[in-house]
Amino acid sequence: MAFENRTELKASAKRSLPGAVPAGPVEPGENVQVTVYIRRKAAEPPIPTTAAIKPHMSHQQIGETHGADQADIDLIERFAHEYQLTVVSASLAKRRVILQGTAEAMMNAFGTKLECYTLPGTSHQFRGRTGTLSLPAELAGVVTAVLGLDNRPAAKPHFRPRQASPTSFTPPQVAQLYNFPSGLTGKGQTVAIIELGGGYKAADLTAYFQSLGTPVPTVTAVSVDGGSNKPGGQADGEVLLDIEVIGAIATGANLAVYFAPNTDAGFLDAVTTTIHDTSNKPSIISISWGAPEDSWTQQSQNAMNAALQDAAAVGVTVTVAAGDNGSSDGVTDGKLHVDFPASSPYVLACGGTTLAGSNGKISSEVVWNEIANNEGATGGGVSALFPIPAYQNSAGVPVQPQTNFAGRGVPDVAGDADPSTGYQVRVDGKNQVIGGTSAVAPLWAALVARMNEKLGTPVGFLNPKLYKLSSSVFHDITSGNNDDSGLGNYSAKPGWDPCTGLGTPNGTALLNALASSASGASGGTHSGTERTPISGDQPNYSASDHWSALSSAETTPVTATVILRRNHPDLGEDLLSGKAPRLTREQAAAVLGAKQEDIQEARKFAAQYGLTVAEDNQSARTLKLQGTARQMQDAFGVQLGWVSDGSGSRYLSHKGHISVPKNLAGKVAAVLGLDLRPIARHRSGAV
């Protein structure tokens, strides 16, 4: 009989929550929903590792190539049926199956015991488990995580309210102090916000943005696992802070708020739903929730990190608050801790500072540490779990002082977070000042939205780019520390440090540096691919032509025609010299047409960049390719944009030389369709 023999699910061990009080067994008939995460069917997706703006995989590509195998999904469904569980949904791209059933059926299916517990100091009850899970032997290696059996709170929001503040700023004032690029609004971008509680009222948003004199942004609430926009609780401060900081700085961006339960399953399901949302299509995700690394099970951490790796692969920038409880991250065991998911190597971890300035100029900035006043300190330090990533190899990240582990350094960057120099926001009908690294994640998300608009393509996974740029793109923070427990760790220093990372942004300088990187890469090339230019492709512009970048490269459709070499490349000279023999139509088609192997090479190239081959014609030596502007930029190494001529007419065109991978050198004769300006004018006049 199938599913008889069982095996332990690796990395599923879970400890009891310190201070939690047992409150009896779970009712056997209680409805329980779990998320089962599944292995990839292929190797991990490639991640950009250089400073240049690189192409990213499409959602379709990552789902087809690095998603789950249908056979594994089918196996999970048979397992569910065997244990009287219902399949709620299944997704190959997200590599997950959501199951539902009674508590008794779940305990039998996953070999565990569920108990009720009461949270310390509250009346809130949760369903918990301890120890490891087990699975039928057939599922060994197939299932990577089972989340949701235990629904204890997984994370805390990293915001700090302050009722009265001697100094405070509106978000646009903070953006001005950090020299965010002007004239940009984040138009064409969608910024996703992850929330594990709380909510917002439209009246608050209207009143707040009207007080700033900025447009009220388009905000969409998205439900995940039954989470919803429920204003009226303490977490409202987090929700409104996130929306108002982003909306006040990236005034043209769309905001999508993903509400999920505050559990490990809810948190991860929100992240995977956001990354693979092909409806809202977010290019940036802002996360202001987290918890100490060792409060997570290894399976939930692995699953979350794999999801964030998907985000990096598809070109979604993820900004995450580094925490508000100093170098201990609020853990009272006398050890140093960093917050997760900020410690994931695939996110931009955001630390905090105390900022002073006026009239658009910074007068002083130090590490945020107000522990003495019970107002928090920036998180930061060295991960105990994730080894140092390649992009930090030359950053001077120290080993973890207590373990000597060479780990991922946290944070990457910083921004104003001290409640005493906090952000003016409106929450539940009241104007407030709020700080915390919760403000820094949306601050950087708004900056990325502006930069994406200008560049015409998402910057995507920023970390490898940032660590290769000149220090002039940051305000280096060299004073202060985030020691909250007397351990002496950590202090600011020139360059990267475990308090403020590389520093706070000089937004315009950062944008210019990224634009220069993109230009140096001819608008983007495939990671590790050598390229060769197509001769004679450079457009010439007149003095009256005006260039502007695309605002929506992700969605702008473009069709290009690739012309391949002839099968007989010397035929032209033979014709001119009279040496060419007479040919039948069939012979002419064979000689004048393209080689079949060239067509196959071009088809592989198109698939590599997510382009669709609408048609190919061997006789005409052409392939018609369709895709988004971003995919075309990546495929042909150019920057696409609009050119307006003296008459006001606007045409698609490009900057930079068209190039192709070196294996197509000599095989591709021309690429048409990336410059749609008229090549000739109708000439008429009275006689």
Catalytically active residues are: 238, 242, 438
- Give me 663's structure tokens: 């294996």
Residues 515 and 339: their CA atoms lie apart, in Å, by 32
Local structure of 277: helix, strand or coil: coil
- Give me 452's structure tokens: 């994406």
Concatenated DSSP letters for 473-541? GEE---S-B---SSS---B--SS-BTTTBT-EE-HHHHHHHHHHHHHHTTT---TT--EEEPTT-----
Which residues make Cβ contacts (< 8 Å) with residue 535, sequence separation at least 6?
none
Question: In terms of C-beta density within 10 A (0-12 exposed, 13-18 middle, 19 or more buried), how is residue 10 classed?
Answer: middle
Residues 128 and 118: their CA atoms lie apart, in Å, by 10
Residues 328 and 384: their CA atoms lie apart, in Å, by 12
- Give me 425's structure tokens: 């926001």
Q: Which of 470, 477, 520 is nearest to 496 (CA)?
A: 477
32 with 101: CB under 8 angstroms? Answer: yes
H or E segment and range at residue 671: strand 668-672
Radius of gyration over alpha carbons of the chain, in Å?
28
Q: Which of 116, 186, 110 is nearest to 152 (CA)?
A: 116
353 with 500: CB under 8 angstroms? Answer: yes
Question: Which residues, listed in sequence order, are joined to residue 491 by a DSSP beta bridge?
Answer: 481
Residue in the structure block whose two tokens are 């969605």: 555
For residue 490, say if its preceding peptide bond is cis, omega within 30 degrees of 0.
yes
Question: In terms of C-beta density within 10 A (0-12 exposed, 13-18 middle, 19 or more buried), how is residue 121 classed?
Answer: exposed
Residue in the structure block whose two tokens are 């209207």: 206
Concatenated DSSP letters for 367-430? E-B-GGGTS-B---EEEEEEEPPGGGTTTTPPPPTTT---EEEE-SEEEE--GGG-EEEEETTE
H or E segment and range at residue 606: helix 596-608
List phi, psi (to 5°) of 456.
75, 10
Q: Which of 459, 355, 361 is nearest to 416 (CA)?
A: 355
